[in-house]
């Protein structure tokens, strides 16, 4: 088991890691739409979805994997009315169409509109 730690994605805001490599799998923690260089979060679901996808990709890359090797994602939306706009961005990044769950939640950390976690092959 190896902890993933990259400066190319936001650091954890609690007692957890960005992800783990376990055997031939890479498991990421949920990624908020935070620009790791500035620590800021953009406005709007499309811009936020972009950053969440980029951050998942950065963690996977640090682990020797990639978005094309994702087999499962779990997506969290603050408002299900953002589903279509979120899907538009998500589809550009997760082109292999991994298995997915997408749920609306009451709140996300830092007031984010979305969060994505992933499981990928190494």
Q: Which residues have a catalytic role annotated?
A: 102
Quick one: DSSP state of residue 11?
P
**Among 75, 58, 66, CA closest to 7:** 58
Contacts of 65 (CB under 8 A, 6+ apart): 26, 120, 121, 122
Locus of tokens 């260089």: 37
Secondary structure of residue 40 in the 3-state scheme: coil
């Amino acid at each position: 088991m190896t902890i993933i730690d990259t400066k190319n994605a936001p650091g954890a805001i609690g007692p957890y890691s960005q992800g783990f490599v376990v055997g031939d799998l890479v498991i990421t923690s949920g990624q908020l739409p935070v620009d790791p260089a500035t620590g800021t979060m953009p406005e709007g679901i499309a811009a936020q979805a972009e950053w969440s996808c980029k951050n998942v990709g950065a963690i996977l890359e640090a682990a020797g994997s990639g978005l094309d090797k994702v087999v499962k994602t779990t997506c969290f939306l603050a408002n299900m009315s953002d589903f279509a706009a979120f899907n538009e961005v998500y589809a550009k990044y997760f082109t292999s169409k991994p298995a997915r769950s997408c749920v609306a939640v009451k709140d996300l950390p830092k007031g984010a509109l979305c969060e994505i976690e992933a499981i990928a092959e190494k």
